[in-house]
Chains A and B, each alone.
Chain A
Amino acid sequence: MPIDSQQVTWVEEPDIGFWEATFLPAIVAGLKTTLRHVTEYKPVTKQYPEEKPSLPEHYRGVHRLNRDEQGRVKCVACMLCATACPANCIHIEAADAPPEWPDRDKFPASFVLDELRCIYCGMCEEACPVDAIELTHIYDLTGRTRNELVYDREQLLSIFDKTKDNPRDPVRTHRGKLGPAAAFKELPTVGPATAVPAAERAAVATAPGVIGPDPQTLQGQ
């Protein structure tokens, strides 16, 4: 519907005076501003490779897989992080824990995280029930090929070794125990929030304990 001209709010441009019409004062004022930046020179540039930025405490960088007090991988291969991951970049193959690890059922036989696909949202860290996966302050990640930046379990563990003494990446706990929810032997049946047919669920297991496509074939691509 066209509006009536009475309803239009007319905005007046300010009346210009003599000095504005000659342009000169505006140009002089502008020159003063630019010159002031030269005379009171305070650069905001960070000379990056020599001068590292101080990152905020909650910065989210490369992941690490934590170790427990015995130096073993803390992860219990519960798949929660892989399920939570919106970028679908964590691929875990669970295996039965060795008999000398009586405190857990499973451990990750392979834990592959594609650092290039990751969006560094931190959902995996939120999801992990045993604080096994954490995001560190490392941000300068480089590699010559894409495959170099697909990290496996040992690489992720070595990042833990690298960062555990850094005060910015504190180790919260060394205990690799599940929370109280693990005490439930049998989970009460809860109806699904939305009726999603099993075939359409995001987490479709191709094999017992494996979520998503096979990481080996993914890595080979």
Chain B
Amino acid sequence: MFDDPGLNSLAVTLLTIVAVLGGILGTCTYLILLERKLSAWMQDRVGPNRVGPFGVLQPIADGIKFLLKEDVIPDHVDKVLYIVAPTISVFTTMLAFSVVPFGPVDQAPEWLRFIIAPNMDLGLVFIFAVTSLAVYGIILGGWASNNKYSALGSLRASAQVVSYEIPLGMSILGIALLHGTMNLETMLTDQAASGVMGWNIWYQPLAGLIFFTAALAESNRLPFDLAECEQELVGGFHTEYSSMKFALFFIGEYTHVITTSFLVSVLFFGGWHFPYIAEASSAYAGAWAVKLLVLAAKVLLCIVLVMLLRWTIPRFRFDQLMGLAWKVLIPLALANVVLVMCVLQFGWSHWWLTAGSVLLFIAAGVIGVNASRSEIMGRHQVRATGFSPAVPPG
């Protein structure tokens, strides 16, 4: 575009940022519509259908409503933090997207790059560093609201996010070891180069499961939305928020879901790679568009799965939530990392990873069965002693 390569790069970067921001915000609004429609279908309802045909203009109406509604800032809040919190929530999740490749980077047209910050060697670390800042939005929001429900919600959120950071990071460690890099682009091209059987999900199915679960918990969505569960905490951390500030929290949440889905697709399902139509070598005209669509389809599938899960699984109890992170996911992720290190160190075939993952999964199941059996047995013993809390012994 410009003669000066520096200026050119700047222009392309700005253009990419504009495209990504527009794309994410647009997708967010329509994801909300999709979620409302999907939940309506699952519950045998119709869902929004009044604004435009089939309700397609509903997100626009919602947006206008959010902008025009009175923006209440209660008297008792800490004004600065109260206003900063929702912006942190959106800002950090959007920032994380800057190192995620959202198309075939090497085939990008010259006016657009499929990644905002290319060749970031610490891509994964950057993502985790930035997304774990997102919880500050929630904690500060709840704290600044000066409301007990909000404070409880943000306390829960901090405990939950801190716990789930660990399995989240550890599940990815195996993949980083396998590829010998933390650069998302390289990981993607590596997988694409070795065909369908190169997708990481074949070698790291357990890591994929752990990553998906932990990422779901990170984004504070059902069944992990303890921070905002209406039955116990009114609205949780966003009880005191109204109009666009409230909407920002939701944009943050949906952006998080989008980023997570991109990560799942890129890290475990080969990104834009699909046999025959989108191979690493396919360079026919418009190949980049096909690859873009393939990636978008994978991401969409992942998002729909997240939404389906939301309406399928009931919310966890808080001790179950913590138990899942500390007693199940972290040991499993740790064992998985050890497995990957062994396989790499001794130069075994990668298929041992698959077998090892399945074995670990089975072991976890067997331990789970035994744990619950011994818990029941413990209760039997209490009964055998004739102890009853209502009758004092003797």
Residues of A within 8 A of B (CB): 2-6, 8, 10, 12-13, 15-22, 27, 30-31, 33-35, 37-38, 41-45, 47
Q: Fill in one digit per residue for B32-76: 1 if any A CB lies within 8 Å of its CB, else 0.
A: 000000101111111000000000000000000000000000000
Report if A37-B42 is in contact (Cβ < 8 Å); known contacts: A2-B390, A4-B391: yes
B352-380 interface (Cβ within 8 A of A) = 361-362, 364-366, 368-369, 372-373, 376
Name which residue of chain A comes closest to B369, CB basis. A21
Report if A45-B388 is in contact (Cβ < 8 Å); known contacts: A18-B366, A21-B369: no
The minimal Cβ–Cβ distance linking A151 to chain B, given in whole angstroms, is: 32
Could you say which of B43, B372, B386 contacts A21, with CB atoms under 8 Å apart?
Answer: B372
Contacting chain A: which of B107-115, B116-124, B140-148, B309-317?
A: B309-317
Decide if B129 is an interface residue (CB 8 Å cutoff). Answer: no
The minimal Cβ–Cβ distance linking A29 to chain B, given in whole angstroms, is: 9
- Is the pair B368, A22 in contact by a Cβ cutoff of 8 Å? yes
Could you say which of B42, B313, B368, B388 contacts A8, with CB atoms under 8 Å apart?
Answer: B388
Residues of A near B365 (CB, < 8 A) are: 18-19, 21-22
The minimal Cβ–Cβ distance linking A159 to chain B, given in whole angstroms, is: 31
- Is the pair B312, A33 in contact by a Cβ cutoff of 8 Å? yes
B293-324 interface (Cβ within 8 A of A) = 308-309, 311-313
Residues of B near A30 (CB, < 8 A) are: 312-313
The minimal Cβ–Cβ distance linking B373 to chain A, given in whole angstroms, is: 7
* Bound-complex Cα distance A22 to B366 (A): 8
Report if A42-B44 is in contact (Cβ < 8 Å); known contacts: A5-B386, A15-B376: yes
Query: Which 9 A-B residue pairings sit nearest by Cβ, starting from the closest?
Result: A21-B368, A5-B388, A2-B390, A30-B312, A22-B365, A45-B46, A21-B369, A38-B41, A34-B42
- Is the pair B376, A10 in contact by a Cβ cutoff of 8 Å? no
- Is the pair B369, A16 in contact by a Cβ cutoff of 8 Å? yes
Residues of B near A31 (CB, < 8 A) are: 308-309, 312
- Is the pair A43, B45 in contact by a Cβ cutoff of 8 Å? yes
Could you say which of A15, A33, A41 contacts B41, with CB atoms under 8 Å apart?
Answer: A41
Residues of B near A41 (CB, < 8 A) are: 41, 44
Could you say which of B309, B361, B383 contacts A10, with CB atoms under 8 Å apart?
Answer: B383
Could you say which of A5, A16, A44 contacts B44, with CB atoms under 8 Å apart?
Answer: A44
Residues of A near B42 (CB, < 8 A) are: 34, 37-38
Q: List 7 A-B contacts (CB under 8 A).
A: A5-B386, A19-B365, A20-B369, A21-B365, A38-B38, A38-B41, A43-B46
* Bound-complex Cα distance A44 to B365 (A): 40
Decide if B348 is an interface residue (CB 8 Å cutoff). Answer: no
Residues of B near A13 (CB, < 8 A) are: 376
The minimal Cβ–Cβ distance linking A48 to chain B, given in whole angstroms, is: 11
- Is the pair A37, B312 in contact by a Cβ cutoff of 8 Å? no
Report if A27-B45 is in contact (Cβ < 8 Å); known contacts: A21-B365, A22-B365, A34-B308: no
Report if A37-B368 is in contact (Cβ < 8 Å); known contacts: A8-B388, A10-B383: no
- Is the pair B41, A17 in contact by a Cβ cutoff of 8 Å? no
* Bound-complex Cα distance A2 to B393 (A): 12
Report if A47-B38 is in contact (Cβ < 8 Å); known contacts: A31-B308, A31-B309, A35-B308: no
Residues of A near B46 (CB, < 8 A) are: 43, 45, 47
* Bound-complex Cα distance A6 to B313 (A): 38
- Is the pair B369, A45 in contact by a Cβ cutoff of 8 Å? no
* Bound-complex Cα distance A17 to B366 (A): 9
Residues of A near B361 (CB, < 8 A) are: 22
- Is the pair B373, A15 in contact by a Cβ cutoff of 8 Å? yes
* Bound-complex Cα distance A122 to B392 (A): 59
Residues of A near B390 (CB, < 8 A) are: 2-3, 5
The minimal Cβ–Cβ distance linking B34 to chain A, given in whole angstroms, is: 12
Could you say which of B43, B362, B388, B391 contacts A37, with CB atoms under 8 Å apart?
Answer: B43
Decide if B351 is an interface residue (CB 8 Å cutoff). Answer: no
* Bound-complex Cα distance A191 to B187 (A): 98
Sample of 12 more A-B contacts, CB < 8 Å, known A19-B365, A21-B365, A31-B312: A2-B391, A5-B386, A5-B388, A6-B386, A10-B383, A18-B362, A21-B369, A34-B311, A38-B41, A38-B42, A42-B44, A45-B44
